[in-house]
Amino acid sequence: KELDHIGNDPQKLKAFAREVMKEYAENFNKGLSEQDIKYYGKIEYNRYYTHEDPEVKQGLRQRGEAKEGSHMHAQLIVSRKTADNGRLISPMTNHRGSNAGHSQKFGQFDRLDFTERCEKAFDRTFGYERELTETFQYRKVMLNGTAMQRADMIVAERNHQAKQAKEQSLAVEQNKREKKELAQQPEIKPRQEQQKKRGF
């Protein structure tokens, strides 16, 4: 849905990749910007079946065969040092700052927060109205949340759907009213035709 939203445009995907790297830099909480990150990226247009795919295991597809549909994506390779080689940065650190020296050296990268920030960056950059069920927060709760958290998320989704249905119904009713008002308006005839009937 996201690729459809940007029209499968590789330039827009590149723009999003740059937004991702801004979020990546900021998420270390070390005052870094995207200029401090050394990275290389390229756009890929296909994904391929691997030995782990069910279709390959069932003999329906061959390993290495291109998958059907639109699979455009960006591949990014990121250095573990800043662009000036002055600081180590690792997104795999689970450190949250209890050891000040270690925190200053490696940063405090929060991978869950990074995922949510990238999601919001896409929505903000391209005006994408994300459904609740498409959000990382929804998937995270439905996979790993407590029974109470999952129930709350299901209720929130139902409320969201009800609100959307109501808004759609109101829009349809408004459209019907406007059409009815237009149909009831008297027909305005051209001025020349009116003058002929008056004898001018």
Mean pLDDT of the chain, nearest integer: 86
pLDDT digits (tens, 9 = 90+) for 92-124: 876 555 565 655 555 578 899 999 999 999 999
Residue type, 101: G
Decide: 82 and 89 in contact? Cβ < 8 Å.
yes
Decide: 122 and 109 in contact? Cβ < 8 Å.
no
Q: Where are the domains of the chain?
A: 1-111+123-129, 131-183
Residue type, 52: E
Q: How far is CA 104 from CA 29, 37, 93, 113, in A?
A: 9, 16, 12, 19
Residue type, 116: E
Chain center to CA of 88: 29
Q: How confident is the model at residue 189 (pLDDT cuts 50, 70, 90)?
A: low
pLDDT digits (tens, 9 = 90+) for 121-173: 999 999 999 998 999 999 999 999 999 999 998 998 888 888 888 888 888 88
